[in-house]
Amino acid sequence: MVKDQAETQTQDRTETVVVGSGFGALAAAKKLAKAGRPFVLISETTEHLFQPLLYQVATGVLSAGEIAPSIRAILQDYPKADVRLGRVVGVDAEAKELVYEAAGERHTLGYDNLVAATGARQSYFGRDEFAKVTYALKTVNDAKRLRDQIVRCFEEAHTTTDPERAKNLLSFIVIGAGATGVELAGQIKELAGRYFEQSMRGVTAADVTVTLVEGAGVAMPAYGGKLSEYTKASLEKSGVEVVLNTLVTDIDAHGATLKAHGEAEGVRRTAETVIWSAGVQANDFARVLAEATGCETDRAGRLLVNPDLTVGGRADIFAVGDMTSLNNLPGQSPVAMQGGRHVAATILGKKKRGTPFKFRDKGSMAIINRFRAVTKVKNIELTGAFAWVLWLAVHMVYLVGFRNRYVAIMSWFGSFVGHRRPHFHYAQEPQQIAEPRAVEESSAAAEIKTEVITSEVPVEKKETVTVS
């Protein structure tokens, strides 16, 4: 609980404040740090999370620590970098001050430049009650919760004497066939055949149903054409059911109702695990900044930033990454990283104030399952094992820290060449079987404060991977 502001306020000042510890914030912070300039980085999490590999934590390939190193440790060699754990809740643009909550107190911090990179969270398109009955994949805790749920479902299916219950426990519905949905659906099916089938007598991959639901007419709509067709065909070959042109109209603790376009009635599917990866909206700090600066936002609450990534009429406030919308750039890590570097270069005077941000698109890629991925670099489209190796190589390069890279290679080797899931097999922390609806504590459920009911939920396209 935050104490009364007047009673506890502490006040100090710095040259630049960076808010967040994700891709955009880290890129800006590193550039400022290397130039020896002072800054304060405030984030509500202690880690720099590599979100593209969250699905591997959820499916036991990697441990959370491997993809979420401490932001303090990353910046520890720069004496002018001041890292603080806190949640930024207010900005006074005229006074050039922000307010953050930390250690149960409110603090005011003055700045010359403010760089916001607070990212996005799940969007349920007005059906916020879905957060309580679905699994999300946005934070480390989301990934661990899903991993516990997967283990629980397989363990209970292995021991129950009720065949109907076993069937439900081994049924998974993934909503949204963007990169995250495709990766999760492919991995869960692979888990069944390459890990659980080996270690559990009586459970075979054929017993496991994975249904991937998408509102658009193709899987991975961001690609379209040959790559989308390849994705669908590869998933189906591995046993994943791909349901296109379909809306989710209802979800509860034991399944979902799917309504195909043109059909009057929906069809109920039972499943003990429903995973939502269908859309995102900007985190709350975007709204705070919009109100403080007069900047407009889009339907997903993202700031409609100026071409130079400044916010509203302010030349001293910048925003980058998933909390922003500019020129239809995708919500992907390279956009956030390049944006962060652009802003830092502007603050350092290496770019003239007002220089527009130019995104260099080096290509995009998404993994489907073992030995299958899709890659697009300009007009060159790659599929299959070569694209898969490229995916591993690129993600290894962008993982932060030598040790993490080394451990990730060993884990990938064990999972993709062997039949192990290192983080189901050698749990790094005591694994407790999750309570059936522990999902209520997911990041999404915790964030949701309002409840607006609409009749139908379009399942929208999700991000694909791009190379920074």
Give me the residue label for tokens 């069944």.
192
Q: Which is nearer to ligand FAD, 279 or 321 (CB)?
A: 321
Active-site residue flag, 183 = yes
| Residue 159 vs 328, nearer CB to ligand FAD | 328
> How far apart are alpha carbons 429 and 431 in whole angstroms?
6
* C-beta closer to ligand FAD: residue 102 or 438: 102
CA separation for the pair 118, 317 (Å, rounded): 13
Q: Minimum distance between the CB of residue 217 and ligand FAD, rounded to whole angstroms?
A: 23
- In angstroms, the CA 125 to CA 249 distance is 11
Token match 């956030």: residue?
A: 336
Per DSSP, the residues of 363-398 read: -EEEEEETTEEEEEETTEEEEEHHHHHHHHHHHHHH
Query: Which CB, 117 or 295, lies closer to ligand FAD?
Result: 117
Pairing of strands 303-304, 324-325: parallel
Out of 66, 101, 183, 214, which one is annotated catalytic?
A: 183
* Of 121, 103, 97, the residue nearest 20 (C-alpha): 121
Q: 259 or 279, CB closer to ligand FAD?
A: 279
Provide the binding-site residues for ligand FAD, judged by CB under 6 A.
19-25, 42-45, 51-52, 54, 87-88, 117-119, 137-138, 179-180, 283, 285, 321-323, 331-334, 336, 463, 465-466
Nearer to ligand FAD, 117 or 251 (CB): 117
Q: Give the residues across from 10 on adjacent strands.
A: 107
Question: What letter represents residue 202's amino acid?
Answer: G
Residues with Cβ within 8 Å of residue 467, at least 6 apart in sequence = 334, 362, 363, 364, 365, 377, 394
The answer to whether 100 touches 8, Cβ cutoff 8 Å, is: no
Closest CB 288 distance from ligand FAD, rounded Å? 8
Minimal distance, residue 455 CB to ligand FAD, in Å? 27
Q: Calculate the CA 163 to chain-centre distance.
A: 35
Angle between helices 333-347 and 23-34 (to 10 degrees): 30
- Rounded to whole angstroms, the Cα distance separating 67 from 47 reads 9
If the CB atoms of residues 183 and 272 are measured against ligand FAD, the closer one turns out to be 183
**Token duo for residue 436:** 């059936």
Residues 230 and 456: their CA atoms lie apart, in Å, by: 29
310-311 and 255-260: which strand pairing?
unpaired
Residue with Cβ nearer ligand FAD (42 or 210):
42
- Amino acid identity at 31: K
Name residues whose C-beta falls within 8 Å of residue 444's C-beta, 6 or more positions apart in sequence.
121, 122, 124, 131, 134, 136, 138, 142, 276
Mind telling me the catalytic residues?
183
